[in-house]
Amino acid sequence: MFDVFVVGAGISGLSLAYLLTLRNLNVGIVDASGSCGGKIGTLVEDGYVVEKGPNGFLDNKPYTFKIVELLGIDDELISCSDSSKKRYICLKGRLVEVPLKPLDFIRSPILSPLGKLRVLLEPFIPPKYGVDETIAEFGARRLGNEFVENLLDPMVTGVYAGDCYKLSLKATFPVMKDLEEKYGSLFKALIKRKREGTLKTGPSGFSKLYSFKRGLATLIDALYDRVKEKAYVGLKESVNGIAYENSYWRVETSRGSYRTKVLVLAVPSFVSARLLSFDEDLRSLLDGINYVPIVVVAIGASLKEGNMRDGFGFLVPRKEDLTILGCLFDYQIFENRAPEGKLLLRMMLGGARNPGIVDLDNEFIYGSCLYDLEKTLGILLDVDKVWIFRYERGIPQYELGHIDRLKKIEEIVSRSYRGLYLHGNAYYGVGMNDCIGNSFILTDRIVEGLGGI
């Protein structure tokens, strides 16, 4: 008998299992794959440090730092370089630096004069209350269509690989909606919160990206090592079925049968839908959360012709004639990501914009990346290594109605299935900080609930 049994050893399930072991609970965790971390993983090959998925976490939320401190791996942390503050948008085939200061914005060609004028009218746009708008609807209403096309669209692509004309603002960027409703304007909110000292940014004034010397696998490995000391860990152990019996949960896996007081499904929502197929309403709601495919292509190379810009990388609006969604200059963001004199560039393809690319062959994908790099950066590469990672269901999409969907899911679970929790990036945030932060919250809920079970 377990106190808590966790299905799924991605960052959500693994961090939750670790925090639960700190509360002296009897914990089990299984995963159908042969490794932990889900889409978070690092390859170290021939002097290159290559991330398979996300490349770091921001310092604007404390949760990842808290777990790093608990694990005692603070000395492995590294922050991004100062030069990586420069970020670019590809417009009309050339890179335009994203302005970070008001004067730079006025001088920047990122918007036309009329587009800039429309942005300056934002404080005079009346707020809307209690409306679930798409990101594009909100942006166009407050800042204008050109701002949506040139800035919001590529930035949303960089986070969700999604369609800003479908994603819910309240579900993806709730702070933006809260600022409008509380202060009446985004500009007014920034000014007032700065005066009040309540403007939330990182310690440096701007959010800064962090990782580890040998990549994010450092965090996954440390969590796994600690969890297996105190909990049952079953890798390559798939769950065949679950049942709710007399206020306890029965989990049938490829290795055995387990009984537990609390069951946590920390797997993609479509997997939870299959496991909970005995409840048609719950299954339907979970299956309704869409995912978009992602292909990550990393290229280790020497520069053959042209010059590289300093910076973090660039994003691509949908109106540009390019296959890639964006490119990260990984070797400039963090030190020691490539051998001396080499480059490490990482591109994202697919998403809501081009979902079919996940099914195309490596040669086409690789060729498209080289063509787009030459077109945008004006460089030719002497390529050493290529890594291609495919995720058929890569990133969950918080589309319009997502918050109402979650409320319905929670109502069914709380009414009918005591001791069941759904956890992971399909619900309340897709980033590492969100997943780990939700693990802290869920740990407290589980411990409190166990007192009454």
Q: How far is CA 387 from the centre of its chain?
A: 20
Q: Which residues of the chain have pLDDT under 50?
A: 201-205
Angle at alpha carbon of residue 18, lines to 12 and 19, rounded to 5°: 90
Say which residue the tokens 């746009």 belong to.
Answer: 125
CB 256 within 8 A of CB 413: no
For 96, counting Cβ atoms within 10 Å of its Cβ (0-12 exposed, 13-18 middle, 19+ buried), the class is middle
pLDDT of amino acid 203: 38
Give the number of other CB atoms < 10 A from CB of residue 278.
11
DSSP of 265-330: E-S-HHHHHHHTTTSHHHHHHHHTS-EEEEEEEEEEEEEEES-PPPSSEEE--TTSS-SEEEEE-H
Q: What share of the chain is helix, strand, coil (3-state, %, to 5)?
A: 40, 25, 35
Q: Identify any residues that bridge with 104 across adjacent strands, giving them in sequence order.
A: none
pLDDT of amino acid 443: 98
pLDDT of amino acid 193: 78
DSSP of 363-424: HHHHHHHHHHHHHHH--EEEEEEEEEEEEEEEEE--BTTHHHHHHHHHHHHHHH-TTEEE-S
Predicted TM-score (pTM) of this structure: 0.94
Q: How far is CA 5 from the centre of its chain?
A: 25
CB 405 within 8 A of CB 305: no
